[in-house]
Amino acid sequence: MSISEQLKKEFSTFTFVLIAVAIVLNIVVGQLVSLLKLPVFLDSIGTVLVGVLAGPWAGGLAGLLTNLIWGVISSPVAAAFAPVAMVIGIAAGLCARYGLFRTWWLAIVSGVIITVFNSIVAVPIRLYMFGGITGSGADFFTAYMLALGNDLFGSVVVMVFTSNLLDKVVTALIAWGVVKAMPGRTTARFPGVRSVS
């Protein structure tokens, strides 16, 4: 199947509706977590859902648009992390395509894989655009690592990976649970579900 055929299959009317819902879900949950200064983000549940249900390109678009819109509405920091959000959606879609959302424990594996790709993109942005500090609850961990005598790069790498590991595993499990709970009539409209059920 060519790329254009794959994209046409991935981007149905239902996919665009799902992307819109995912953007709202990501921003509302992410804003709530940010206000509470929790050490996780939970702002990519919708992105992962889109990736699992509709495929990697749709998931990537959901993540990208979430952070760009969020950046315009209230948080310029979110816009800077738009490439990270895009990678999360793509990684989730690819994990689903290869059957890594079939069971709860495979969803955990997906969360770990998503974390690796997320970290590769997030660390340079956090370091070079923000000096390692973005104002999130995870900054406390970075400050703690620095207080222990670690350098900034090592502190940010450890903080990004560990905070995202918990976050993305929980996010992947929530996405898996939501897809499993959806009626077959609904999930049948999306191309990615065959790799989940």
- Give, for all 197 residues of the chain, the pLDDT tens digit: 677 776 777 788 889 999 999 999 999 998 898 788 776 789 999 999 999 999 999 999 999 999 999 999 987 888 999 999 999 999 999 999 999 999 999 999 999 999 999 999 999 999 999 888 887 667 777 888 888 888 889 888 888 898 899 999 999 999 999 999 999 888 887 766 655 65
Dist CA 46 CA 23 (whole Å): 7
Q: What pLDDT is stored for residue 195 in this prediction?
A: 55
pTM of the predicted protein model: 0.90
State how many domains the chain has.
Answer: 1
Domain that holds residue 189: 3-195
Q: Looking at residue 80, which CATH number applies to its domain?
A: 1.10.1760.20
Q: What pLDDT is stored for residue 140 in this prediction?
A: 76
Q: What pLDDT is stored for residue 107 in this prediction?
A: 98
